[in-house]
Amino acid sequence: MFAQILRRHGVEQDSVTECGAAWAAFAEFLQLNIGGIDQTPDSDADGFIIQWGRRSWSDNRLILTFTRQLAIADVGDDDDPYRQTELWQLGLEMAFDDEAALIGLESLDVQDTGFKFAPTGPLRAAALMDTWAEMQRHAPVRAAWIATPASSGLSFECVC
């Protein structure tokens, strides 16, 4: 579904050229209610995080990643007393070539926004606005926002 929303915003998942358009698509995707997630109170079942820095798995390139995390309910044996929900993450990773304005991205004292678990609707919209403002306080993150990624891609994986 996220790939479809990206295309509606003029973004191809494997060739993002504008981070702002990818962000608009991500914000729209975050407002979708998803069935099958853990509904227990305080489960942190549906949230998002933005991360940046240099990662070995992206050929040691600088990255900016938009991630939605979901706690999937009803997975495993119902009779297992140790049964836990599974955490899945869908992420759009954008990798950048080294540019002078981006070099400080990996050495910032923070590498992410922290997870936000506001429910969909107005509270999630407010959390998205706060997250965007938080990212804009860091010059290298602002520089990544206007730079053209060298590569990009979607991933969907179990992280638990």
Element (H, E) at 47: strand 46-54
Summarize pLDDT for 103-127 with one digit per residue, the tens. 888 888 889 999 999 999 999 999 9
DSSP track, 59-114 = TT-EEEEEEEEEEE-S-S-TT-TT--PEEEEEEEEEEE---GGGGGGGGSS--B--
Give the range among 2-6, 48-52, 76-80 with minimum mean pLDDT: 76-80
Residue 134 Cα distances to 50, 86, 87, angstroms: 10, 29, 25
pLDDT at 60: 80
| pTM for the whole structure | 0.89
More confident residue, 39 or 95: 95
